Structure 1
Amino acid sequence: MKPLLGLISTLLLLNSASVLASDAALGQRLFSQSRCLECHGAEVFTSPIRKVQNLQQLEQKVRQCDASLSTNWFDDEILAVVQYLNQTYYKFPTPAAAASPTHTPQVTTTLTSNPPHSLNSFFAR
C-alpha cells in the first residue's frame, strides 16, 4: 500500500509541475499581448521597494490591472499571468513548491469494531 501511495504522490507532483510550466507559458503570452507595460515598465517588478510583497498581493495587482485595462481575462488566465510574473520576477514561494517531493506523508487508518461514537450507541439511548 505504501509504495502505491508513493507512486501516486510522485505522479501528482510531476503532473502539477507540468501544469505550472504550461500556465507560465500561457501567462507569458497573455502578458506580452496585453498593454501592461503601457502604464509602467518592468522596473515595478524588480524594484527593491516594490509594493507587491507576496503571492496574494501579486494576484490582487494582476486582477486590478485586468480590470483597468479591460483585458477581460478568465480566472485561469489571471492565475497564469501571476505564475509567469512570479517565476520571472518575484520568486515568491508557491503552494506547489511547499510540497516537498522527498517527503511523502504517511496515511494510516485504524478500524475498530466499536468506535467510541458509533450509531449503535446513539440509537440505544
Structure 2
Amino acid sequence: MKTALLALALSLPWLANAQGADIFKGADLALGTRLIAENKCAQCHTSKVGGNGDAIYRPQGRVNNAGLLRGMVENCSTQLNLQLFPEEVTAIAAVLNRDHYKFK
C-alpha cells in the first residue's frame, strides 16, 4: 500500500507543480504546530541530518513548490504510519511553509 501511494505521488509531478501556496489557505496553523510537536518531527529530522534538524529544509532542493512540500509531509505520514487526515497534512505543510519555505 505504501509503495502504491508513493508511486502515485511520484507519477503525478504535474499536479504538485500546478499548486501554489494557495493550497494552504484556511489551514489550521495551530493544529499543524501541535501535530509537529506531538509527532516529534524535529527530532526525527535531527536524527536524519544532524545539528538542530534545520538542514532538512532546502527550498532550492527537491522541495521547490507548495505542492511538493505537502507531498513530502504526506510521504512522512505514510512512511511513519501516522495516519494523518488530509487536513492535518495540509496544516503541517502550511506551518512548514510559513516557517521555512515561504512559497507564494
Tell me the TM-score normalized by structure 2: 0.62
How far apart, in 1, do the equivalents of 2:95 and 2:73 lie?
A: 11
Question: What is the percent sequence identity of the aligned residues?
Answer: 34
4+ residue segments displaced more than 4 Å: none
Higher relative contact order, structure no. (Cα contacts within 8 Å, ≥ 6 residues apart): 2
Instruction: Choose the corresponding residue for 2:42, options 32, 37, 45.
Output: 37
Partner of 2:96: 85
Mapped partners of 2:64, 2:79: distance in 1 = 21
Q: Deviations over 1:44-79 (max 9, x none)?
A: 11x465321000100110000001111111011000
- Pairs aligned (count): 73
Q: Structure 1 38/69 Cα, relative in aligned 2: closer, same or farther at 3 Å?
A: farther
5+ residue gaps in structure 1? 1-16, 94-125
The structure with the largest alpha-carbon Rg is: 1
Give me the whole-angstrom Cα distance separating, in 2, the residues matched to 1:48 and 1:55.
Answer: 10
The CA RMSD over aligned residues, in Å, is 1.8
Q: 2:63 aligns with which of 46, 52, 66?
A: 52
Alignment deviations for residues 14-53 of structure 1 (CA, whole Å, 9 cap, x no partner): xxx7x44xx11110110111132344222211x4653210
Compared CA separation, residues 35 and 70, structure 1 to 2 (3 A): farther
